Structure 1
């Protein structure tokens, strides 16, 4: 997407088309379209290359930017044969025949790619051809430059996510050059003893005026340097090493430029995101620090401690070099260029502001972001971030004292789909969100929420006179002190012994519920208290007459208490019992009453059995015949026991022959029908059809919910553990190094969870999605026999009840992948 500076038009590149939309109303009928489909012959050639005719064999527009005052420039994949073309902006038509684009545009629609047109020169970074190495290039006009791949490869399986021009020549006291910064994730090269990652986040830079070397590094960058971007939680030694998106925030001067990055985890089956901010000053310091070297191509890189040539390798041309008659990069000495060729990596890592993330969020994968600076009533400037997720949500957050606070969440698309792009227009006061299926326009601010009894919220930007406004961004409480409890009281009459759910939905994720009975706060929700509380209501279990009264639900946040709903509950003896309802397999109640600890946690209370009808008299039921029937039945059961004993002994012997605690099931995998096995493998992106059984043991500071009941002695797991089926990990390709195992996620720093915590910080929660298997959904929890209470003093049943209440609205997957167990 391309939003013009004047804010009047939004250009959108799609599959086989380019659109020019009215930025003030993208749904207006004035939209213009250029159709640009791949030819049938090119689609046929794409199929012959083995590509997908549903996703890849089309012309996906990957580049769309302004070329000059009259024309735009665009590039498309053209079914794996890229083309580029100029667009006449005024007429919105292609002004020339398409030209070759294989050096400017990637072949595929999902290959990492970033590109800029700067002063009519095109700078791109991608893996261009199908089997080529990733490369950073200046394509046109001459001189064309690229990164080096021999003897030292400068980029190692790089996946690019963004680039930015910083005009560092403006008001420079040293006559410095403008620079282009590139952001990507690549395979790690560092040698370290503290931690190891197979991939790391990077920032690289080149000088805009670079013209390559004369003989050494001819048609190669002489100013290419790269450094690592770190985004981690130091207290947990937890590192986010996958860079997903970058937003560049210009400052008052080039030196004030900020880089916001969205980071994720290397393990695709663990969802978590962190937002880190970097200053240009920190990046420049890394490029002025020590270099890394690799004497042997087969070893890891380590810090270079030898002599550094003069002028400093990788520097731009400045006034001090011009005074030495070095006016262009082709005049640089060969020893400097040879050093650049072998030392592209810097040793110093770029640390984020405050040395920690602005935001860490579990169970969320952010994909793109945009940042808006706005002035509050207190005359201070705040950074407001808009972040899109992989499921089509938009989160709005404000930065306060080095931390991000999410103040609004909005589900943009009815069907879950990733946010592919985010643009802001201060002139139009709009946010433009792009996804694989559509583009959505939203207002920058949408403050229509009101607190009962308080003054209604208004848009600060729309108020010319702000002297009468009250706004408390720092504490979030000023103006709410005199909130009136003006709520509707609802009546509820129930029969003694029934369970009653009083619903109370909190509008804020940061608020906690508080319940009162006749004005007194309910104290404790133990197993025998008769109450359970959750995020969506209060449950009265087996109601008794003394529990009648006025129940009021309050939302408590930042020490402010606001009444939301009240119930006048009357518990009576004279109400008739409700008619019995037969349970069905599709009915799930997460507020079901838990049995006493002596019963199994998932045992249902049976209904009283109906009286058995009297059997008619028959000679078959005589004592002699009944004795013969019993003897026959005992004989059959005895034979079956013998057969089962032999089978179990044989299976036990076979399992003992294999590895202890780890078994490869070839037969289980091959028993699947071919189409099911192919579907499972495609789901898991695996080449192996093997499965693996592993014994898993977990402990939770004495909490029975998290404790599998196992004990560990001398490295062997004893009885009480459970089995986890891990598909596709029995055998790995010899040439591929397996990725490091995913560590448990630490708790969210801003909102510590009251739930059970592992010693390493992982919160034990039920999954957000339960698997539906043959119409039944279940989660197996096991109680520790020796430790029945959590660190917080709650019993197993209480902790279970809390977790089930939080998952009351858990959705069920109608079609889970076949590997789910």
Structure 2
């Protein structure tokens, strides 16, 4: 551990001295989600789950209103406006029994691997889709008629288009009829980037050195750089992946093999070489992708957005710490511009040194036209109309120099976001216009335990608007897709697919709350927080994404809370609850509207859930107001009127008893007869009960001497209850098992002395509910315990209405036993609105 921490410090030192300065500390970058929405608090969520598993491959056709989902053994076509409306279509595509047996013979797992995992679903042309699956380690592909939505009678071999292993990194795109994929294809083969289908097949070079070193692919992106290009450039496909590094100083810990993030590119019109690099890429180049901590980053997800032209394209990428840092868990989000990628690919090359087996800077002569570049207008003027016309020295140079020296650095040289104790596994980005005329990128980031973080990029950082628990059972979010038409985000995971709205503006109940959210989709209209996209008149809307504090008038900010009464005796303690909905807010308490209370001051303990006043004195009486302070705004949350009494109020005089009857008012003869009859009946009942008790006592004396009925075994053997004992049998057989198993069955057990069951005694009545006056502001048992700031008290989540018996819980007595001991002798205060004695 000491050695690992030493390496970590060296990494940070190198970061400060080798071009990765961070102007902000990691603590400043560690963003906290403003709101936390638990699973049971989600709204407007639609879920789909069929008879399959692993819903991880998503293809959205927004203009057609269809969401295609590739799962294990099935492909689904869902209505993108409501994936749960029951109108889905399904293609069952299970691996045959023969292929499953063959998969098992290869030593593969029959619970995870020997199935058909659909890894690719893409639009092939106007009428057909193209899908590929692992098919129990025998990949197959199919052209599917989109209207019929059924598998064709003949399937295609998929070993050069789809991976064998369903856990292997894979990415694929169909571009202008060509299938561009990257993965490990053949069984136990090397990683490769390939082009198939209706264009000239190409792949990466394997000798004399591997262009890809144990690569795991993450994503691929098409950038149409030919559109309005001043130099007549070609479209490019960018591949993002992880691989083992061989650069000098690639790892500070020499005992560890460094894996680094890479970005590679190829030209769409590449045809390969004529004699050298035949059927191989002539435009393959790769560069290092860095984010925050050099040499210890794991690339997890990539998404690109543009502002209407390819020159404005930016890439967002999520990183996590590598497995070498098992004691730490953190994620980072970095942004890269297309110009930064171009700068790296137009810079100097690296060369491989056989003596050191490392890549170092190449400082020799570079042939012309520039190796690895696409065919441009200048190349055509020089007679190079395609890659097959390139000179041999250019192709030889490409073959030996695929790695660039310059690294691709993030915007501003640092990450947008660093989040501790979170692993981001999926990413999707939407560019949304705001009322201030700017475009804001909204990031949806899925985590490894089933949460979804929604953040907005504001300047050099990310403000996390909210975190949502989208799955009840923890599981990684595998894929995310955004629909602008449906204003939804689709979440794919092992257990199913979810459809969530891009925003839930109604969740913000006040103007302050709506403004502080800084959500580009939401604005305040004077009465409520509304969707900006659905507003007819935007001139009446208020929004402040940039700063999150301006626009609300004092009168419309928030209605004052209803004041509650609390009354205690001198020396007692009282709890005044105040729950903050925002994780970024700080509780501020005012007494009589002016005096502020500081945490740990005298008798006051200010916590995240309320105010605890201990050993109250008469001068503590007054009006207490709780406010939430966030980003310079203060909003009222709770108000209390506290009264501290010097002594208990006097008891009421007992009502006078009615005067005894006068002597002249004697009972009539008829009433005397009734009295005598009642006394006689009671005497008879006493005799009957005495006889019954005598009979029962006699039976008790005879117990153990002999037993009436069938003979029993002289001894009883208790055996351990096992799974066989708990097997599902008929209910009537549960009481008469002959396997010797000891079972505890609810109900009345029959006695050996009597064949008839005795009438069970009625359960004792529940204790009477305590009045609200005894709750001291704690009207219900705690559902959450949270530490007070700067002291050892525990505040409790409370409800306004008292429960039937709020103090009959042992955990509550354990938590506040000292406080309760003080109140055992107190008396009720008469006619108070909400007393706390």
User: Given the two structures, how large is their TM-score scaled by the length of structure 1?
Assistant: 0.67
Within the alignment, does 1:564 sit opposite 2:620 as a pair? Answer: no
Task: Give 2:137's match in structure 1, choosing from 51, 56, 80.
Answer: 80
Does structure 1 retain, via aligned residues, the 8 Å contact 2:259–2:295?
A: no
Distance 1:505 1:297, change over 3 A: farther
Task: Give 1:62's match in structure 2, choosing from 95, 119, 124.
Answer: 119
Q: CA deviation at 1:104?
A: 0.9
Within the alignment, does 1:178 sit opposite 2:235 as a pair? Answer: yes
Distance 1:323 1:452, change over 3 A: closer
Aligned to 1:102: 159
Aligned to 2:723: none
Aligned to 1:647: none
* Equivalent residue runs for 1:104-119 within 5 Å: 104-119=161-176
Aligned to 2:628: 555
Task: Give 1:409's match in structure 2, choosing from 449, 459, 467.
Answer: 467
Aligned to 2:344: 286
Q: CA deviation at 1:534?
A: 2.9
Distance 1:496 1:154, change over 3 A: farther
Aligned to 1:226: 286
Q: Return the alpha-carbon distance in structure 1 between the equivalents of residues 565 and 107 of structure 2.
A: 67
Within the alignment, does 1:470 sit opposite 2:574 as a pair? Answer: no
Distance 1:485 1:330, change over 3 A: same
Does structure 1 retain, via aligned residues, the 8 Å contact 2:290–2:407?
A: yes
Within the alignment, does 1:450 sit opposite 2:509 as a pair? Answer: yes
Larger displacement relative to structure 2 (379-388 or 546-555): 546-555
Aligned to 1:668: none
- CA deviations on 1:504-542 (whole Å, 9 max, x unpaired) are 22122222111223324444333x733333322333345
Q: Return the alpha-carbon distance in structure 1 between the equivalents of residues 412 and 623 of structure 2.
A: 49
Q: Return the alpha-carbon distance in structure 2 between the equivalents of residues 301 and 572 of structure 1.
A: 82
Distance 1:536 1:502, change over 3 A: same
Within the alignment, does 1:531 sit opposite 2:604 as a pair? Answer: yes
Q: Return the alpha-carbon distance in structure 2 between the equivalents of residues 32 and 319 of structure 1.
A: 48
Within the alignment, does 1:488 sit opposite 2:565 as a pair? Answer: no
Within the alignment, does 1:252 sit opposite 2:324 as a pair? Answer: no
Of structures 1 and 2, the larger Rg is shown by 2
Within the alignment, does 1:264 sit opposite 2:320 as a pair? Answer: yes
Paired residue secondary structure (1:301): strand
Larger displacement relative to structure 2 (396-405 or 159-168): 396-405
* Equivalent residue runs for 1:244-393 within 5 Å: 244-266=300-322, 267-296=325-354, 298-393=356-451
Within the alignment, does 1:121 sit opposite 2:183 as a pair? Answer: no
Distance 1:211 1:806, change over 3 A: farther
Paired residue secondary structure (2:143): strand
Distance 1:479 1:208, change over 3 A: same
Distance 1:547 1:156, change over 3 A: farther
Q: Return the alpha-carbon distance in structure 2 between the equivalents of residues 333 and 417 of structure 1.
A: 52
Paired residue secondary structure (1:94): coil
Aligned to 1:28: 85
Distance 1:86 1:5, change over 3 A: same
Does structure 1 retain, via aligned residues, the 8 Å contact 2:194–2:201?
A: yes
Distance 1:154 1:480, change over 3 A: same
- CA deviations on 1:320-339 (whole Å, 9 max, x unpaired) are 22222222212222221221
Q: Return the alpha-carbon distance in structure 2 between the equivalents of residues 420 and 249 of structure 1.
A: 20
Q: Return the alpha-carbon distance in structure 1 between the equivalents of residues 114 and 389 of structure 2.
A: 46
Q: Return the alpha-carbon distance in structure 1 between the equivalents of residues 141 and 797 of structure 2.
A: 51
- CA deviations on 1:620-675 (whole Å, 9 max, x unpaired) are xxxxxxxxxxxxxxxxxxxxxxxxxxxxxxxxxxxxxxxxxxxxxxxxxxxxxxxx
Distance 1:30 1:334, change over 3 A: same
Larger displacement relative to structure 2 (438-447 or 494-503): 494-503
Q: Return the alpha-carbon distance in structure 2 between the equivalents of residues 418 and 517 of structure 1.
A: 48
Q: CA deviation at 1:298?
A: 4.7
Does structure 2 retain, via aligned residues, the 8 Å contact 1:128–1:134?
A: yes
Q: CA deviation at 1:118?
A: 1.1
Q: CA deviation at 1:69?
A: 0.6
Task: Give 2:591's match in structure 1, choosing from 517, 521, 524.
Answer: 517
Q: CA deviation at 1:296?
A: 1.4
Instruction: Quote the RMSD (CA, aligned, Å).
Output: 2.8
Aligned to 1:164: 221
Q: CA deviation at 1:95?
A: 2.2
Paired residue secondary structure (2:339): helix
Q: Return the alpha-carbon distance in structure 1 between the equivalents of residues 573 and 101 of structure 2.
A: 65
Q: Return the alpha-carbon distance in structure 2 between the equivalents of residues 106 and 297 of structure 1.
A: 35
Q: Return the alpha-carbon distance in structure 1 between the equivalents of residues 165 and 644 of structure 2.
A: 67
Q: Return the alpha-carbon distance in structure 2 between the equivalents of residues 22 and 485 of structure 1.
A: 41
Does structure 2 retain, via aligned residues, the 8 Å contact 1:485–1:562?
A: no
Paired residue secondary structure (1:467): helix
- CA deviations on 1:254-308 (whole Å, 9 max, x unpaired) are 2221111111111355221211111111101100000111121753212111111
* Equivalent residue runs for 1:646-685 within 5 Å: none
Q: Return the alpha-carbon distance in structure 1 between the equivalents of residues 209 and 468 of structure 2.
A: 47
Does structure 2 retain, via aligned residues, the 8 Å contact 1:452–1:486?
A: no
User: Given the two structures, how large is their TM-score scaled by the length of structure 2?
Assistant: 0.66
Higher relative contact order, chain-length normalized (CA < 8 Å, sep 6+):
2
Q: Return the alpha-carbon distance in structure 2 between the equivalents of residues 515 and 447 of structure 1.
A: 28
Q: Return the alpha-carbon distance in structure 2 between the equivalents of residues 549 and 174 of structure 1.
A: 77
Does structure 1 retain, via aligned residues, the 8 Å contact 2:113–2:165?
A: yes
Paired residue secondary structure (2:529): coil
Structure 1 residue runs of 5 or longer lacking an equivalent are 577-795, 809-821
Q: Return the alpha-carbon distance in structure 1 between the equivalents of residues 164 and 458 of structure 2.
A: 43
Q: Return the alpha-carbon distance in structure 2 between the equivalents of residues 498 and 413 of structure 1.
A: 44
Distance 1:278 1:94, change over 3 A: same
Distance 1:517 1:76, change over 3 A: same
Q: Return the alpha-carbon distance in structure 2 between the equivalents of residues 150 and 297 of structure 1.
A: 18
Q: CA deviation at 1:21?
A: 0.5
Larger displacement relative to structure 2 (70-79 or 439-448): 439-448
Aligned to 1:461: 533
Does structure 1 retain, via aligned residues, the 8 Å contact 2:251–2:258?
A: no
Distance 1:243 1:194, change over 3 A: closer
- CA deviations on 1:124-179 (whole Å, 9 max, x unpaired) are 11122342121111123453211122222111121111001111111122221111
Q: CA deviation at 1:315?
A: 1.1
Does structure 2 retain, via aligned residues, the 8 Å contact 1:501–1:538?
A: yes
Q: Return the alpha-carbon distance in structure 2 between the equivalents of residues 151 and 427 of structure 1.
A: 50
Larger displacement relative to structure 2 (362-371 or 142-151): 142-151
